[in-house]
């Protein structure tokens, strides 16, 4: 194995940890992050590196006699475009199309840029998804506009409360509460016909689909710490939504 200079090694470590951090913050599966970091390390002649990832932080040890580095992951959200971008940069680095310096600079750009769709477009998409699910779950066409509005509004409320309070389960609880209240109001005032299908359709954008998929795939790959904690998060999210709806229905 060829020895690499200290500055280059530090740059390589910064690059790997940044890649891992961006991927974990954007909702990639744990085993994919680990795989990406190890592949990048092997491409930089660090063949006996070790890496341990939990949803809260990443530990990376370049070799047995060098110090281990640690990075903390504070917030997580779903941003699949970032996952795909980091993935393609790491592919290019491994294939030798990019030097380490170039790869690190691209990672920094990815870390700083906001790739999210505009908020109004996300709300519109949530409304469209709710309206589609209303019909798919057997609702009537007369309820369609209500599901569209309530679904979009529920998503907007969750995102707003999340920014204000930073407590995810509370935000989902408030969102579900608002959805249930609005659906019952619409039906009781004589405009809507069936509150059940309106609520089911409108709640759909809040369902933790990413967490369920990631939990299953991580458990299968043997990452029990992150698999179980993501499963717990998915369960708590589902519980928060259920509690919000139940509170409305109990009146």
Partner 1 sequence: MNWPLEAFLSFMAAGAFGIVFNTPRRTLISCGLVGMSGWLVYRSYFLLFDDSVQATFAGAFSVAIVAHVLAKRFKMPMIVFSIAGIIPLVPGSRAYNAMRNIVEEDFLEAISFAAEALMISGAIAMGLVFAEVLMQIYFKYQAKRIQRKIGMTQN
* Segment contacting partner 1 by CB under 8 A, of 5-13, 105-113, 133-141, 161-169: 133-141
- C-beta of 145 vs 242, nearer to partner 1: 242
* Segment contacting partner 1 by CB under 8 A, of 23-31, 50-58, 103-111, 160-168: 23-31
Half-sphere exposure at residue 204, Cβ-oriented, CA atoms within 13 angstroms: 22
Q: Does 120 bind partner 1 (CB under 8 A)?
A: no
Selected from 24, 89, 200, 240, the binder of partner 1 by CB under 8 A is 200
* Segment contacting partner 1 by CB under 8 A, of 4-12, 46-54, 61-69, 132-140: 132-140
Hey, which residues between 148 and 177 contact partner 1 (CB under 8 A)?
155
Q: Does 193 bind partner 1 (CB under 8 A)?
A: no
Q: Does 38 bind partner 1 (CB under 8 A)?
A: no
- C-beta of 79 vs 105, nearer to partner 1: 79
Q: What does the alpha-carbon distance between residue 16 and residue 36 come to, in Å, rounded to a whole number?
A: 9
Going from the C-alpha of 30 to that of each of 37, 113, 188, 239, the distances in angstroms are 11, 23, 46, 24
Selected from 136, 142, 167, 228, the binder of partner 1 by CB under 8 A is 136
Q: Does 245 bind partner 1 (CB under 8 A)?
A: yes
- Could you give the angle at the alpha carbon of 38 between the alpha carbons of 33 and 42, nearest 5°? 150
Give yes or no for a contact between 207 and 239, defined as CB atoms under 8 angstroms apart: no
């Amino acid at each position: 194995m060829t020895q690499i200079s200290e500055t280059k090694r530090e740059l390589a470590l910064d690059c790997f940890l940044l890649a891992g951090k961006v991927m974990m913050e954007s909702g990639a599966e744990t085993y994919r992050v680990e795989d990406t970091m190890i592949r990048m390390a092997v491409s930089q002649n660090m063949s006996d590196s070790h890496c341990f990832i939990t949803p809260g932080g990443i530990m990376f040890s370049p070799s047995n006699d060098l110090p281990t580095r640690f990075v903390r992951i504070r917030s997580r959200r779903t941003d699949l475009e970032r996952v795909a971008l980091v993935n393609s940069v790491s592919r290019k680095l491994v294939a030798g199309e990019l030097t380490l310096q170039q790869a690190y600079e691209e990672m920094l750009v990815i870390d700083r840029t906001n790739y999210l769709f505009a908020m109004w477009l996300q709300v519109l998409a949530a409304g469209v998804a709710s309206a589609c699910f209303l019909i798919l779950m057997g609702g009537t066409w007369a309820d369609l506009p209500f599901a569209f509005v309530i679904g979009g509004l529920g998503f907007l409320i969750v995102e707003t409360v999340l920014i204000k309070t930073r407590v995810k389960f509370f935000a989902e609880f408030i969102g579900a509460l608002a959805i249930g209240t609005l659906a019952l109001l619409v039906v009781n005032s004589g405009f809507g016909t069936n509150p059940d299908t309106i609520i089911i359709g409108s709640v759909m954008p809040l369902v933790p689909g990413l967490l369920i998929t990631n939990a299953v795939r991580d458990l299968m790959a043997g990452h029990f710490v992150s698999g179980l904690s993501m499963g717990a998060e998915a369960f708590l999210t589902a519980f928060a939504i259920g509690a919000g709806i139940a509170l409305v229905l109990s009146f």
